[in-house]
Amino acid sequence: MPATVVVGTQWGDEGKGKLTDLLARDMRLVVRYQGGHNAGHTIVVGGETFALQLIPSGVLYPETVPVIGNGVVVDPAVLVAECDALEARGIDTSRLVVSGNAHLIMPYHYEIDRATERSLGKNKLGTTKRGIGPAYADKAARIGLRVQDLLDEKIFRQKLDVALREKNLVLAKVFNRLALDGREIARVYLEQLAPRIAPMIGDTVGLVHEALDAGENVMLEGAQATYLDLDHGTYPYVTSSNPTAGGACTGSGIGPRDINRVVGIAKAYVTRVGAGPFPTEVEGELADTLVERGHEYGTNTGRRRRPGWLDLVMLRHAVRLNSISEIALTKLDVLSAFESVKLCVAYEYEGERLTSVPYHQSVLHRVRPVYEELPGWGDDLSGATETGDLPAAARDYVRMIAEYAKAPVTYVGVGPGREQYVRFAA
Ligand code: IMP
């Protein structure tokens, strides 16, 4: 059975957690393929809220095996804490399997992330300060430590020694910070964390292929989103991995032909956290309403998200970048507050109308959105379960999205609960 990829089409926080949770019901494996605990998935089950950072949403289903793939960067202390927190609430985490090839986030990655942001001043990226970028940088520079190194004390110490020599120089000479003590890092990682992580380490590539060969359903769960992609996002205001669907292959160890379904998650409006261009951003009372009704504050960092109208130019581009086969539209209920709603259908730049995302980012920074304004619906959508339960104006809004983005909308979220969604049929 080929695999399903779930990918965000905007700048993250599209509500992927709830959808992956819904799809996970039918999955044997749910695999995270990139990112780290910069992600935050919120799932509401039976009135209880679960906020997951590293562990894939599949953990909430006893028949599903959650997998942390090789493309993820893992802070083992966070992983252990997340397992303990779930266990304390009666969720069994013993099925979790972590790739030995996933890279470790080390204490110096946090230090460097924070120090770099500080030194960038007004040019800072607004990272989550979780050490994500520095950990991926070390992976590419080939001085990273991997999860499997926790299993070999000698190798761990050797690699740590090499990396720390450079990091301490950078911390001291570039950032004027104190050097870190390698013995203390080794003690915590090898004595406290390794015994907890060791039983979780497994052959994740083998597992995924066994499941596919056996005809079982596999889901590849992206964190962050298309426009935070290192290659296709609004660089440098991006994360340091590839959330786009292509990243699902490298980050889990399968090829493109193993994927037959790509679900793109789009919020009915757009938000972004941190800095970077955002053509449809809104301000003032409208922004406050979107933020308050949508609870648009970071799961992880508590930061207020920047809100804006849905950008169909970017959504259509995301459909191409990811081979999206269907769109899941989330949080439509949040827009019920408005008398009319807007969709960005093109950009205007120096008197010209652009209908695709400009390749030169300086242009993207300066475009003005061209909107189509549609009537709002005003009604409470929270009880809708079928397409016909949605008011006609809401259905029209959804249809227009599908038409412009060139992919069908199959799911519409109408509230935070696990069951609050409509299987949408055009
Ligand atoms: P980093 O991933 O911590 O390096 O942060 C880089 C950029 O990605 C910043 O703008 C973050 O706000 C953004 N970012 C990282 N993870 C998420 C996420 O899960 N949701 C939304 N934005 C994110």
pLDDT for 410 equals 97
The mean pLDDT value for 161-181 works out to 96
The mean pLDDT value for 190-210 works out to 98
pLDDT for 194 equals 98
pLDDT for 58 equals 87
Q: Looking at the predicted structure, is the pLDDT value of residue 385 above 90? A: yes
pLDDT band at 333 (very low <50, low <70, confident <90, very high): very high
To test the ligand 1 pocket, which listed residue (128, 241, 306) has its Cβ within 8 A of the most ligand atoms? 128
Give the distance (Å) from ligand 1 centre to CA of residue 86: 24
pLDDT band at 345 (very low <50, low <70, confident <90, very high): very high
Q: Looking at the predicted structure, is the pLDDT value of residue 50 above 90? A: no
The mean pLDDT value for 72-98 works out to 96
Q: Please name which of 393, 389, 377 lies closest in space to residue 420, comparing C-alpha atoms.
A: 389
φ/ψ bin of 272: left (φ > 0), alpha (ψ from -120 to 50), beta (otherwise): beta
Q: Looking at the predicted structure, is the pLDDT value of residue 371 above 90? A: yes
Q: Looking at the predicted structure, is the pLDDT value of residue 18 above 90? A: no
Distances (CA, A) of 210 to 10, 24, 351, 363: 32, 18, 55, 47
pLDDT for 17 equals 81
* % residues pLDDT > 90 (the chain): 88
Q: Helix, strand or coil for residue 424? A: coil
Is any ligand 1 atom within 6 A of the Cβ of residue 5? no
DSSP letter, residue 231: T
- Please report where in the chains the tokens 């966070």 appear, as a residue: 78
pLDDT for 379 equals 86
Per-residue pLDDT of 280-328, as tens digits, reads 999 999 999 999 999 999 877 789 999 999 999 999 999 999 999 999 9
Please state the pTM of the whole predicted model.
0.95
Rounded Cα distance, 168 and 179, in Å = 5
Catalytic residues: 13, 41
Q: Looking at the predicted structure, is the pLDDT value of residue 57 above 90? A: no
pLDDT band at 269 (very low <50, low <70, confident <90, very high): very high
Rounded Cα distance, 131 and 105, in Å = 6
Q: Looking at the predicted structure, is the pLDDT value of residue 391 above 90? A: yes
Instruction: Provide the mean pLDDT of the chain.
Output: 95
Rounded Cα distance, 245 and 221, in Å = 9
Is any ligand 1 atom within 6 A of the Cβ of residue 76? no
The mean pLDDT value for 250-273 works out to 97
- Please report where in the chains the tokens 């259905």 appear, as a residue: 395
pLDDT for 314 equals 98
Report the DSSP beta bridge partners of residue 307.
Answer: 271
Q: Looking at the predicted structure, is the pLDDT value of residue 42 above 80? A: no
pLDDT for 95 equals 97
pLDDT band at 358 (very low <50, low <70, confident <90, very high): very high
For residue 375, which phi and psi values (nearest 5 degrees)?
Answer: -65, 145
Q: Please name which of 30, 37, 103 lies closest in space to residue 73, comparing C-alpha atoms.
A: 103
Q: Please spell the DSSP secondary structure of 7-71, one letter per residue.
A: EESSSS-SSHHHHHHHHHTT-SEEEE-SB-TT--EEEEETTEEEEESSS-GGGGSTT-EEEE-TT
pLDDT for 110 equals 98
Rounded Cα distance, 252 and 241, in Å = 13
To test the ligand 1 pocket, which listed residue (112, 116, 224) has its Cβ within 8 A of the most ligand atoms? 224
The mean pLDDT value for 340-369 works out to 97
Q: Looking at the predicted structure, is the pLDDT value of residue 20 above 90? A: no
Name which residue sits closest to atom 10 of ligand 1, judged by CA.
274
Residues in the chain: 426
Give the distance (Å) from ligand 1 centre to CA of residue 211: 31
Is any ligand 1 atom within 6 A of the Cβ of residue 134? no
Number of alpha carbons in the 13 Å side-chain half-sphere of residue 417: 10
Determine contact, residues 97/74, Cβ cutoff 8 Å.
no
From start to end of 333-413, where are the E strands?
A: 340-349, 352-354, 368-375, 409-413
Rounded Cα distance, 53 and 60, in Å = 14
Is any ligand 1 atom within 6 A of the Cβ of residue 113? no
- Please report where in the chains the tokens 């459909």 appear, as a residue: 319
What are the contacts of 363-371 at 24+ separation with CB within 8 A? 364/234, 364/277, 364/279, 365/277, 367/279, 368/279, 369/279, 369/280, 369/309, 369/311, 369/344, 370/344, 370/345, 370/346, 371/309, 371/342, 371/343, 371/344, 371/345
Q: Looking at the predicted structure, is the pLDDT value of residue 389 above 90? A: yes
Determine contact, residues 270/53, Cβ cutoff 8 Å.
no
The mean pLDDT value for 13-26 works out to 88
